[in-house]
Structures are given as C-alpha cells and as structure tokens.
C-alpha cells in the first residue's frame, strides 16, 4: 500500500518531545549531539524540559520539531516502513526534503537555523500575528482579509479551516469582521510573527543565501511542496519553492488532495502531535492517518 510521510510544522511542539527516543535509540542521541554543535546550544534540554515559553520561541521551536521529526523518520525506516511520497507543513517541508534524501540532516538544519532566527527577527521588526478562521466560505474569507493594512490567507489547511496572517491591528479588525459575518469560530494564535505573509520579507535574503549554500540531491521519492501543492523533482524549482514558501500561503488541503489523486492511500504523520491527522480528517474523512510521535506508536503501528 502506498504510504505518504507527512511532517508537522510550528505549533505541534510540546515539552518532553523526543525524550523517550533519546534514551532508547543511539541515532536519536547522535542527532541531538549534532544539533547542539550546529545550533550552538543544547536543543535536547529545551525539547525535554522546556520551559514551555522558551520552547515556543520560533528560533527554538523550529529546530526542535525538525530534529524530532527526522529521528522518527529514521526509526520508521529502520523498522522497514518507507514512504512512497513525502510532504511537510511549512517548517515540515524541510523534514520532508531530508526524508527524500534531497538534503542531508546537517544541511537542512543549517537552513532551519537561519530560517528560524530570520523569521523571529522579522516578527520583531515588522510585528504581526495570526489567527484561525473556522467555517468561512471563500467569499467570506475575501471580505475578512479586505482590511486597511496587511491581512492574507497563510495556511489553507482544510475546507473551511484557514489561518490568516498580517499586521496586529488589521488582524484584530479582520477577526471582528469575521464575528460580524457569523463565522463559527475565530481563534487568535500565540505566535511571534505574521508567518507566510509579506511581513516576512526581511527574512528572505538570509534564507536565500543559506539555501544557495548547501547541496541538493535528486529526490528518492516525490516531494509535494507547499508553494505549488504538487510533486516537484527539479532541484532549481525545489529551491525556489522553499524560498517562496516564506511569504506565501501553505496550500496544505490542495497538497493532500493531489497526493490522494496520485494514489496515496495511507498517511503517516512523522513528528510531534496530531495536528496533520486532524487536518486530514477535515480534508477527507476517508483518509487513513497514523501518528508516530513516540516509541509506543511505532510498536502499535507494527501490530496493525
């Protein structure tokens, strides 16, 4: 049965993530040791013990999720579970590129390091925020985003499940507009910036520089990218897409639909939490999605 590995992005982190893997697997300890050398701080300490406010900071969140996801990816493959295709939600796309062997762990972590700091800095110099809008039609979403100031769709996660991003005051007005339209639910998100919006433009040059400095290899399996919602194999296009992902929406719903159209029948969420499992249910209730976050999940999956 074709299996797609899908990798979560920022927001799926939790204090304690990866601790059981670290104590059980040598490859996990090696990855955290390597990460400490590249990042210049003890990522395992922040991942395992927090505090939560520290782990939530973009510059720590992104490497923590990335390293955790890659360790799980390796554990699955050691167990004989391999993907037919891969995709990742925002940050998760870098995990997908490693899984497909387009990037090495070390090179991808260098990109994630630069990306996380650049995005955190962009959030400081161009303050912004994000919010989830649940139950809006396309027409209503257009009205919600039509504000004075910057408000754009950032994550098109599932039908009627959209995240908007933009300037703080403009987002506040957009949420008030949504409530006036009778939208079922609007949820301000606790984030440090307006990700996937023009407010991230200041991060572009440093991200472009590090992307162009590392070696990309031919993909072992198809990678479905956020920016275009389809499988991409051309290395120039892959570089272009992960750079443009920074300021443009994550086309997650379209990505999953395209993977299903291309024969993917089973999805494995590789990384912390169950965010993507929930999104997949919103996209199509027939989608089978398994989660592998901890050791116990691998054992349970092997028994299916």
pLDDT grade for 160, boundaries at 50, 70 and 90? very high
Same domain flag for 93 and 212: yes
pLDDT band at 226 (very low <50, low <70, confident <90, very high): very high
Of the candidates 113, 119, 112, 22, the one whose C-alpha atom is nearest the C-alpha of residue 71 is: 22
Domain match, 105 and 167 both: no
Mean pLDDT for the chain overall: 94
pTM of the full structure? 0.95
- We report the CATH number of the domain holding residue 12 as 3.40.366.10
Residues 161 and 251 in one domain: no
Catalytic residue among 90, 116, 192, 197: 90
- Which residue range forms the structural domain that includes residue 156? 128-189
Higher pLDDT, 252 or 79: 252
Phi, psi (degrees; rounded to nearest 5) at 237:
-70, -40
Query: Within this chain, do residues 106 and 238 fall inside the same structural domain, yes or no?
Result: yes
Q: Based on the domain organization, do 111 and 217 belong to the same domain?
A: yes
Q: Looking at the structure, tell me whether residues 120 and 139 fall in a common domain.
A: no
Q: Is there a single domain that holds both residue 117 and residue 147?
A: no
Model confidence pLDDT, tens digit, residues 267-293: 999 999 999 999 999 999 989 999 999
Per-residue pLDDT, 93: 98
* End residue of a domain, out of 142, 164, 189: 189
Lowest mean pLDDT among 103-117, 198-212, 252-266, 281-295: 281-295
Say if residue 73 is in the same domain as residue 220.
yes
**Which of these is catalytic: 68, 165, 196, 253?**
196
196 is catalytic: yes
pLDDT given for residue 52 in this prediction: 94
CATH number at residue 174: 3.30.70.250
pLDDT of 118: 97
Boundary of a domain, candidates 171, 189, 207: 189
| Catalytic residue list contains 240 | no
Looking at the fold, whether 119 and 234 belong to one and the same domain comes out as yes
For range 254-265, the mean pLDDT: 95
pLDDT at 304 over 70: no
Average pLDDT over residues 27-34: 96
- Same domain? For 154 and 240 the reply is no
For residue 300, name the pLDDT band (cuts at 50, 70, 90).
low
Number of domains in the chain: 2
Q: Beta 85-88 vs 288-292: how paired, if at all?
A: unpaired
If asked whether residues 113 and 243 sit together in one domain, one would say yes
- pLDDT surpasses 60 at 303: no
If you average pLDDT over residues 186-206, what whole number do you get?
Answer: 95
What is the predicted pLDDT for the residue at 301? 58
Determine the pLDDT at residue 1. Answer: 72
Residue 18 and residue 165 in one domain? no
pLDDT at res. 299:
63
8, HSE (Cβ side, Cα atoms, 13 Å)? 30
- Mean pLDDT within 10-25: 94
């Amino acid at each position: 049965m074709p299996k797609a590995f899908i990798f979560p992005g920022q927001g799926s982190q939790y204090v304690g993530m990866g601790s059981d893997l670290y104590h059980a697997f040598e490859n996990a300890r090696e990855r955290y040791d390597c990460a400490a050398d590249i990042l210049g701080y003890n990522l395992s300490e922040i991942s395992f013990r927090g505090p939560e406010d520290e782990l939530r900071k973009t510059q720590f969140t992104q490497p923590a999720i990335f390293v955790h996801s890659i360790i799980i990816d390796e554990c699955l493959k050691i167990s004989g579970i391999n993907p037919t295709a891969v995709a990742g939600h925002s940050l998760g796309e870098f995990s997908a590129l490693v899984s497909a062997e387009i990037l090495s762990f070390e090179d991808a972590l260098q990109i994630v390091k630069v990306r996380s700091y650049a995005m955190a800095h962009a959030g400081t110099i161009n303050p912004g925020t994000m919010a989830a809008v649940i139950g809006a039609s396309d027409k209503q979403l257009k009205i919600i985003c039509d504000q004075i100031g910057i408000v754009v769709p950032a994550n098109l996660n599932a039908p009627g499940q959209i995240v908007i991003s933009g300037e703080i005051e403009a987002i506040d007005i957009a949420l008030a507009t949504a409530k006036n339209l009778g939208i079922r639910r609007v949820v301000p998100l606790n984030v440090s910036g307006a990700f996937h919006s023009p407010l991230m433009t200041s991060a572009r040059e440093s991200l472009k520089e590090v992307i162009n400095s590392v070696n990309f290899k031919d993909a072992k399996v198809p990678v479905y990218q956020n920016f275009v919602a389809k499988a991409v194999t051309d290395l120039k296009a892959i570089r272009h897409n992960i750079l443009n992902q920074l300021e443009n929406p994550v086309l997650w719903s379209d990505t999953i639909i395209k993977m299903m159209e291309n024969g993917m029948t089973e999805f494995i969420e590789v990384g912390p939490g169950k965010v993507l499992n929930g999104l997949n249910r919103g996209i199509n209730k027939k989608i089978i999605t398994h989660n592998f976050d901890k050791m116990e999940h691998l054992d349970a999956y092997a028994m299916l």
